[in-house]
Amino acid sequence: MLSSRSRTAFARFLIIVGIVVAWDLAGRWFIDPFHISRPLDVAERLWEWVSTGDIVEHVLTTMSELVYGLVIGVVLGVLVALILGSSPTLAAVFSPFVTVAYSFPQLALTPLYILWFGVFLMPKVVLIAVVVFFLMFFNTFEGVKNVEGDLVGAMRVMGAKRLDVFRIVVLPASAVFLITGLRHAVPFALRAAVFAEFLASVRGLGFLALTSARAYSSAGLFAALTVLLVVGVGLNALVNWLERAVLPWRSAGVDVAAAMQR
């Protein structure tokens, strides 16, 4: 008898197969393939890119933008949130400015970043870092604010220093919020990278999708979108792994809940 995870994986596989079959039938009988292409045409285009090595350069470009932007945005967002969250005075002074900056549509600043930093790597990294910064800041800041004052008071009564309180109480209590922020930040970072590549770039998956669209190649466009989908799924799997490593009790809770349903 299949386990719960196996049944879930099999159901997902059937859904994917159903979507591909429906797509192929629609392209054959109902909709002009010029508009939606067909799975086999998309697979052939992907194989062409893989065999020539063209796709590698585009994937590496987009991944480089994502990695640099995510690292900078996560580090700055978490650091600023921890500083402001640990100081009510600083929070009262600077939080309104952060909120106002977050209210401004960050994607609208992309042309300005391109004007300042050119059309290569830097403007994409800056845009991704800014988008990720706000998502990480607000989630982490909320986590720091939700730290129970009684725990902090008890630690101080026992003679713990500020660094000990931060390490033993604040960081573990904020870990759930931090992972949640990261889970939201990763897909937004990918969208920001693609959007910036649409506006100005010479390589990357967004650039590949845009050039395919300009050439009226639906197969190329769907092939680029498929690679983007794979990248997004891979990044989400990485976040899931990080969550299991940092918060093992959450995955254990899911297993217990699944066992109770059987």
Tally of structural domains, the chain: 1
| Residue 107 clears pLDDT 70, i.e. is over it | yes
Tokens 């990763």 sit on residue: 186
Q: What's residue 32's pLDDT? A: 83
Chain-centroid distance, C-alpha 224: 18
In whole numbers, what is the pLDDT of the chain averaged over residues? 83
The predicted structure's pLDDT at residue 136? 92
Q: How confident is the model at residue 259 (pLDDT cuts 50, 70, 90)?
A: very low
Q: Is residue 124 part of a domain?
A: yes
Instruction: Give the Cα separation of 241 and 262 in Å (integer).
Output: 25
Average pLDDT on 33-48 reads 89
Q: pLDDT tens digits for 60-86? A: 999 999 999 999 999 999 999 888 887
Q: Report yes or no on 32 lying in a domain.
A: no
pTM of the model: 0.83
82 located within any domain? yes
pLDDT digits (tens, 9 = 90+) for 201-214: 888 999 999 999 99
How many Å apart are CA 160 and CA 152, to the nearest integer?
Answer: 9
How do residues 216-250 score in pLDDT, each as one tens digit? 989 999 999 999 999 999 999 999 888 888 777 66
Output the pLDDT for position 161. Answer: 59
Give the residue, 201 or 261, on which the prediction is more confident.
201
Q: What's the CA gap between 2 and 8, in Å, rounded?
A: 10
At 120-167, the pLDDT tens digits run 889 999 999 999 999 999 988 887 776 655 455 555 555 555 665 666
Question: Is residue 17, in this structure, part of any structural domain at all?
Answer: no
Distance CA 91, CA 108 (A): 27
H helices within the chain, ranges in order?
A: 4-25, 33-36, 39-52, 54-85, 88-103, 110-117, 121-145, 149-157, 162-165, 171-199, 205-214, 218-246, 248-261
Residue 27 located in a structural domain: no
Calculate what percentage of the chain has a pLDDT beyond 90: 38
> Residue-wise over 218-243: b if at least 16 C-beta within 10 A, else e?
bbbbbbbbebbeebeeebeeebeeeb
What is the spatial distance between Cα 124 and Cα 204, in angstroms, rounded to a whole number?
11
pLDDT at 169: 62
Does the residue 14 lie in any domain? Answer: no
9-17 mean pLDDT: 87
pLDDT of residue 83: 86
- Look at residue 122 and tell me if it is in a domain: yes
The pLDDT, as a whole number, for residue 37 is 86
**Tell me, what CATH number does 126's domain have?**
1.10.3720.10
Q: How many CB atoms are closer than 10 A to CB 139?
A: 23
Per-range mean pLDDT, top range of 29-33, 89-93, 125-129: 125-129
Backbone angles phi, psi at 103, to 5 degrees: -70, -20
Measure the CA–CA gap between 194 and 39, rounded to whole angstroms: 23
User: Which phi and psi angles does 2 have, rounded to 5°?
Assistant: -70, 145
Is residue 24 in a domain?
no
**What is the span of the domain harbouring residue 104?**
42-261
